[in-house]
Structure 1
Amino acid sequence: MEFLSFNVSSKSLTLKKRDALPKPATNEVRIKVAYSGICGTDLHILEGSFPCKEDGPLILGHEFVGTIDEVGSEVTVFKIGQRVAVDPNNGCNKCDHCHNANYHYCAYGGINNTIGIFKDGGWATHALVPETQIYLIPDEIEMHQAVLTEPLSCMAHGWDRINPVNVGNKVLIMGAGIIGLLWACLLHLHGLRKTVTISEPQQKRRELASNLDLDYKVKNPTELKEEFDLAVDCCGNAPAMEKAMSFLGHGGRLCVFGVANPKAKLSIEPFQVYKKELSIIGVIVNPYSFCKGLALVQAMSEQYLNYNKLGIKIFSLSQYKEALDALKKGDISKAVFKL
């Protein structure tokens, strides 16, 4: 087994090999990983600005798909050979939050127990996953597209949080990294056309956004002047969110989807919130929306999930330094490991 080991104390990655494959517990399956994505959250973990497992080695990677190659003795639904996508999040199923279908608020689950952040994940040839956290991939979905299910499932939750979003609404997307590009595609899928603006300071990323051919306006943040009904933050940058608040019209909403540094601060003018009836909406992970994420992959695959247009590049696990470097430089929008 080949895997990337993250040393929590030194914030360093090392490619390692293990002779014996891990054995699944009674309620787990072992997945032979096909594709595993690098998320912006992973970059924050590597730089030490996002919480993760506090001690010992960790295999990162919370966006991955593959084929089941061994099952635990109590696994009844899934079989060896099936293609599956992994939902890295769950809940304790005991607390009030879980009982109210809000496991993403759970102190012991949600973002506090994510596979690839607090438990070993998919930056490896094989991974162990509870049976309750895997989903069959429909035959018509390609595996390299299915690896986008996890981010799209988070966006499906975000879509539910910000609705209604009507055709004709003026929408500002802040950031043209992979999440901003996928949000642009999602809005286009739902019928929004010429009323969407993508704001991005980096020239390379503005070119990627333009290459999507969605007929959206792509601007440097310094060029923004008009009012918007909705602003979707996809960069986690507090100054950008502050600026976006000033562009919101009456009844406007700011959706905080990007992951900001936990120490970042946002200043707002309460009088403007009162006067304009503004709203700030947070979105965290993907509670019970993984099926919706798979459905989005199926609906978007042919027209929207083209790796070349989205700026996604495939790397081998041994090329992890090149992958991380390309992401940090902004040469690509996303890196995906092919195992």
Structure 2
Amino acid sequence: MANPSFVMQKVLDVSFEDRPIPKLISPRDVRIEIKQTGICGSDVHYYTHGAIGSFIVKAPMVLGHESAGIVAEVGPEVTSLKVGDRVALEPGVPCRFCDHCKAGKYNLCADMKFAATPPYDGTLCRYYVLPDDFCVKLPDNVSLEEGALVEPLSVAVHVTKLADVQVGSTAIIFGAGPVGLLCCAVAKAFGATTVVAVDLVQSRLDLALDLAATHSYVPQKGDSAADSAAKIIAMLGGKQPDFAIDASGAGASVNTAIHVLKQGGNYVQAGMGAPEISFPITEFTVKEITARGSFRYGPGDYQLAVALVASGKVDVKKLITHRVKFEEAEEAFKLVLKGQGVKILIEGPAAPAA
């Protein structure tokens, strides 16, 4: 196969196809040979449900968007990269012309072409094409495996920047999945001296403590949000967090976050859960809390994520629990469905025969 690709045909129906090798359309395009791809919750949701909100899979679609690879071809106007360079792929290309793009918020672009988001194919293939400014060169001390994890790390960078975490502060992160774990690490890298991880699964909290967290908390069955908040504050010696991030999407976590925050605290919603939840609006109002939503990543987030890995401030390798060959890609999805592992990497298709 010239360009083997892992294609979702319909819900729970995937296959391997030989797709055409993508051509360079723009003189600033780059063709990358994909070497490592991580599995994201959105990939699995498409695999199991065929849709996320208004994004509905209506035709066969290549899955995957957390990838790193090696530059195989560059357009005639590319000066920042050369064949053989190792890069992390920022998988969403905006229109560049709308008001959001011009304001530096291209993650909000309505015409975003995002890998493995219908109708656009993803990166679980041998070759993928991106503009050169959406390929971030990896330093020599950053592996391709780490490069694939730059995508979820960039999500965490964007979330934590929106929270405006300050040096010497206390931050609390709800949900110890990949993004929540990485938010713990980024909050610490940004200077938070106390980082609290909250989750129902002790093994994930153990990983959070190993990665960056200073404290962990398992909500107790039957406790209200106010009860949980009171116990967390007691655990912290009476101190209330300055910043809260919810990476779970669970209504109970959202409520607890508002109750636990100090007066004037900052709250950022990163996880997506039920379309609507109950919300402690009185607590939110009287504390004058600042709340923001967070979606993907924006200008500079990928570059900062790479720098955090290269400097050793964030060790993304600790999240990798499974590695599978390209031919075993469906098994990786099944592992995620079973709740096994934290971050599973799929090795790119073997290099084509000479």
TM-score (norm 1): 0.87
Q: What residue number does 1:272 align with?
A: 283
What is the letter of the counterpart of residue 216 of structure 1?
T
Shift of 1:178: 1.4
Residue of structure 2 aligned with 1:255, choices 234, 250, 268? 268
Picking from 310, 313, 326, the partner of 1:298 is 310
Residues 1:117 and 2:120 aligned together: no
Question: Which residue pairs with 1:130 in the alignment?
Answer: 131
CA–CA distance in 1 between the matches of 2:210 and 2:87? Answer: 31
1:63 is the counterpart of 2:61: no
Aligned partners of 1:2 and 1:15 also within 8 Å? no
1:73: how far off?
A: 5.2
Query: Match for residue 196 of structure 1?
Result: 195
Q: Which residue number corresponds to residue 216 of structure 1?
A: 214
Q: Name 1:242's counterpart in structure 2.
A: 255
Alpha-carbon offset, residue 164 of structure 1: 4.2
AA of the residue aligned to 1:297: V
2:114 match: secondary structure:
coil
**Structure 1 residues without counterparts, runs of 5 or longer:** none
For the residues of structure 2 that align with 1:290 and 1:209, how far apart are their CA atoms?
22
Tell me the equivalent position of 1:316. Answer: 325
Bigger Cα displacement from structure 2, 45-54 vs 59-68: 45-54
RMSD: 2.4
Q: Which of 97, 100, 104 is the matching residue for 1:101?
A: 104
**Matched ranges for 1:10-25 at <5 A:** 10-18=10-18, 21-25=21-25
How many aligned residue pairs are there?
326
**Is 1:4 paired with 2:6?**
yes
Residue identity matched to 2:260: F
Any conservation in 2 of the 1:205–1:330 contact (CA below 8 Å)?
A: no
- 1:332 paired to 2:333: no
Specify the code of the residue in structure 2 equivalent to 1:271.
Answer: T
Aligned amino acid, residue 293 of structure 2: G
CA spacing shift, 1:26–1:104, aligned 2, 3 Å: closer
Identify the residue that residue 287 of structure 1 maps to in structure 2: 298
Structure 2: unaligned runs, 5 residues or longer: 234-239, 349-354
Q: Which amino acid aligns with 1:336?
A: L
Give the Cα separation in 2 of the matches to 1:99 and 1:209.
Answer: 37
CA distance in 1, matches of 2:73, 2:147: 21
Aligned to 2:84: 81
Q: Which amino acid aligns with 1:179?
A: V
- SS of 1:250's equivalent in the other structure is coil
What SS is found at the alignment partner of 2:267? strand
Give the match's secondary structure for 1:122: coil
Using the TM superposition, give the Cα deviation of residue 22 of structure 1 relative to its aligned residue in structure 2, in angstroms.
Answer: 3.3
**C-alpha distance in structure 2 between counterparts of 1:215 and 1:163, whole Å:** 18
Report deviation, 1:254: 2.0
What secondary structure is seen at the aligned counterpart in 2 of 1:286?
A: coil
The residue aligned with 1:44 is 45
Q: Deviations over 1:288-334 (max 9, x none)?
A: 12211221221236x62333xx3532111222233223223332111
Q: Secondary structure at the match of 1:150?
A: helix
Q: Residues 94 and 337 (structure 1 numbering): CA distance in 2 closer, same or farther, change over 3 Å?
A: same
SS at match of 2:88: strand
Distance 2:208 2:337 in 1: 18
TM-score (norm 2): 0.83
